[in-house]
Amino acid sequence: MPNDNAQKSEREKNCDLPLAYPYVPMQRFQDRYSDENALIRGTLFPELDLPFKNYVINSALPKTPQTEIMNIGFVGFELRLYLDTHPYDSKALEYYNQYRKILRDLKDKENESSERPGYNRWGTWVLGYYWLPRRSMI
């Protein structure tokens, strides 16, 4: 049947191609953005900072206790994602534990300064969804 190839659809022809062998370089725990810059840039690691169409946002966030909690929480979350793929990196784990303690202290301080338990001074609920079991994000 010499005409078999001629009658194959384009999709069937592409199925005969060999598979690709992708390569992803391993990320290293080297340079890091500051806490404030990490939240603005969307990543803690400069090597992962790939702006869309070279559009870069450099505006600073206001200096409030809420943005400080957001900054520390974001850095902790990024470190947790890093530790998912690098569980034996002791330097990153130590850094993560420091940020976890800082975030816990900031949240406790914010809750103490509130008139209503569970709310911060801006009236925002900070203890999560009351119908779900309380879990820390980091």
User: pLDDT, tens digit, for every residue of 2-41?
Assistant: 555 556 676 666 677 677 777 767 788 888 888 888 888 8
Residue 137: closest CA among 88, 79, 86:
79
> pLDDT grade, residue 98 (50/70/90)?
very high
Locate the domains of the chain by residue range: 28-112
pTM above 0.95, yes or no: no
Q: In the structure encoding, which two tokens stand for residue 20, read together?
A: 């690709």
Top-ranked range on mean pLDDT: pick from 30-44, 45-59, 79-93, 97-111: 79-93
CA 109/CA 107 separation, integer angstroms = 5
Q: How many C-beta atoms lie closer than 10 Å to residue 93's C-beta?
A: 16
Residue-level pLDDT at 132: 46
**Residue 44, Cβ density class (10 Å: 0-12 exposed, 13-18 middle, ≥19 buried):** buried
- Identify whether the C-beta of residue 110 lies closer than 8 Å to the C-beta of residue 68: no
